[in-house]
Amino acid sequence: MNVDENVFFREATLRICSSLDIVTALKRCFEYIRAYIPANGLTLHILDPDLNLLKFVASVGLNHLNKRVIHLPEKGRGKRAADVQAAFLTNEGTVLILHPDKEAGLPEILEQLGVDTNISLMNLILQLEGNQIGTLALYVDGLNQYTDEHARLLQLLHGPIAIAMSKALEHQEIIRLKDMLADDNRYLYNELRSVSGDEIIGSDFGLKAVMEMVRQVAHLNSPVLLLGETGAGKEVIANAIHHSSPRKDGPFIKVNCGAIPETLLDSELFGHEKGAFTGAVAQKRGRFERADKGTIFLDEIGELPLQAQVKLLYVIQKKEIERVGGTSAIPMDIRIISATHRNLEEMIASGRFREDLWFRLNVFPITIPPLRQRKEDIRALVHHFIERKTKELKLKERPVLGYGAIDRLVAYDWPGNVRELENMIERALIQHRGGALSFETLLPVSHSGARKPPIQDSGGNRDLPPLDEMTVQHIRQALEMAGGKINGPGGAAQILRLHPNTLRNRMNKLGIPYGKKS
């Protein structure tokens, strides 16, 4: 058989390297080489000598030869196994012509594959830079079909096949890790949404004007500047803008500008190249790069040093970044939402904040009112936090609010805003030992050091609690007297002189558990 080895090598290599999909590449190569080497099929395996097994990678020709793991028989690990092990130590691929009727252990392997022993096999040991990669096997019907000439031709392809297999496996691993990361991101996103909820408490009352502005700007790419006191809920509004926008499936990256040391700020925001500075042992993507195709939320933007403000202005204008130590610009497709509790105009006047950056960020400002200016939201916030914290703390039952509890909370000015209210609710639940929640001993003192008095009307009488709270307490007391029973003699419905169905409907409306729910 006269074969031009250079042409054979070139044509086969072109087909092997034509695709990152290992099956596609092997199929193209197989269709070419079978014109020179007799073959009905081809398989590719990774050999694990420690576990004494073959792990399937791909097959061409005979689709039934795709068993994921093949256990090598112990009796096949004699002299021939030593020959194979010695072949792994060479820098060039070794081709072994195997004879099923003569090789110890080979019939058992073929039996696992469901293949008749009346075949000829040729095995190419794949090795790259001294490391074992795997094995490639060609087979054809009939005994003694392969010659030394066939083995020499297959051996020519050792390098391209080993490299192609290595790169293809790396590509498969990258795809697997990418899919795993995407799945993890979806899971974490769903978990966060289940904890925080889609509803913004107060959207129909104290935050109604804010949410209207959110609806106006969410579908655009315009920068948004959130203004308001610490703890007022700026991050919640930023989340609402992102998840109501066309970028909702992209990343939402939060940056607390006041929490990053100035020496690390450039690296954190824009990333760095390997060797850019001492300790930069690998390339790192910055927060802006991670936010590509999504939204970046720059919280406490007023804490940015002037040098970082200049770079941020450049990013907004050019829509590109440069990593620390890098030489090429990286285009960015991001939406910027910034937030601060500071008066940026005063900072501009004192030279601590750039006016041109403020003009870029202040395209659509949204001011979030403090809790003391939207006290109508306190009742809904209290019920929301009690419900959520009861689940987080794994409490057996949801505590009921006591007489005058909401009035005490409404009377306080909440300098820490929603965050302070949330923390106080959690503290009350941690210390709760039965009975109703009153917050009387936990309510923060006023700035003068004295607790605020209960709300009184013009006649000096203490306000009555809301009707729903009194109804909840009344029904719970009746349930306790009835031992949790609703129907029948001595049941809660009889005690309250109500029809059982009427009582159940009212309990459902007020969120009072009964039956199995309790």
Reading the block at residue 507, the tokens are 């309990």
CA atoms 379, 237, 219, 198: torsion sign: negative
Position 298 pLDDT exceeds 60: yes
Judge whether 333 and 221 are in contact, CB under 8 Å.
no
Q: Measured between alpha carbons, how far is 325 from 334 in angstroms, rounded to an integer? A: 22
Reading the block at residue 37, the tokens are 């080497």
Judge whether 507 and 444 are in contact, CB under 8 Å.
no
Q: What fold, for 203-274+283-369? A: Rossmann fold (3.40.50)
What count of residues does the chain have? 518
Judge whether 378 and 406 are in contact, CB under 8 Å.
yes
Q: Is 312 exposed, middle or buried (0-12, 13-18, 19+ CB in 10 A)?
A: buried
Burial pattern 353-371, b for ≥16 Cβ within 10 A else e, equals bbeebbebbeebebebbbb
Q: Measured between alpha carbons, how far is 509 from 309 in angstroms, rounded to an integer? A: 52
Looking at the whole model, is its pTM more than 0.85?
no
Closest-CA residue to 291 (of 248, 335, 245, 325): 335
CA angle at 193 for the pair 422 and 332, rounded to the nearest 5°? 110
371-457 CATH, one of 1.10.8.60, 3.50.90.10, 3.30.565.10, 3.30.390.50: 1.10.8.60
Report pLDDT for 222. 95
Q: Measured between alpha carbons, how far is 462 from 393 in angstroms, rounded to an integer? A: 34
Q: Give the pLDDT confidence of 345-395 residue by residue, as tens digits.
A: 999 999 999 999 999 999 999 999 999 999 999 999 999 999 989 988 998
Domain assignments of the chain as residue spans, ordered by start? 5-170, 203-274+283-369, 371-457, 466-518
Report residue 111's pLDDT band, with 50, 70 and 90 as the boundaries.
low
| Segment holding 333, helix H or strand E | none
CATH number of this structure's domain 5-170: 3.30.450.40
Reading the block at residue 326, the tokens are 């890098």
Tokens 């014109």: give the residue: 35
Q: Give the pLDDT confidence of 439-461 residue by residue, as tens digits.
A: 888 875 544 334 444 444 444 44
Reading the block at residue 167, the tokens are 């790169």
Q: Give the pLDDT confidence of 248-284 residue by residue, as tens digits.
A: 988 899 999 989 988 889 999 999 988 888 877 788 8
Q: Measured between alpha carbons, how far is 91 from 69 in angstroms, rounded to an integer? A: 27
Q: Give the pLDDT confidence of 9-38 residue by residue, as tens digits.
A: 999 999 988 887 888 888 999 999 989 999
Tokens 């009742």: give the residue: 379
Percent above pLDDT 90 for the chain: 31
Report residue 337's pLDDT band, with 50, 70 and 90 as the boundaries.
very high
Q: Which amino acid is at 155?
A: Q
Cross-strand bridge partners of residue 320 = 331
Same fold, 5-170 and 371-457: no
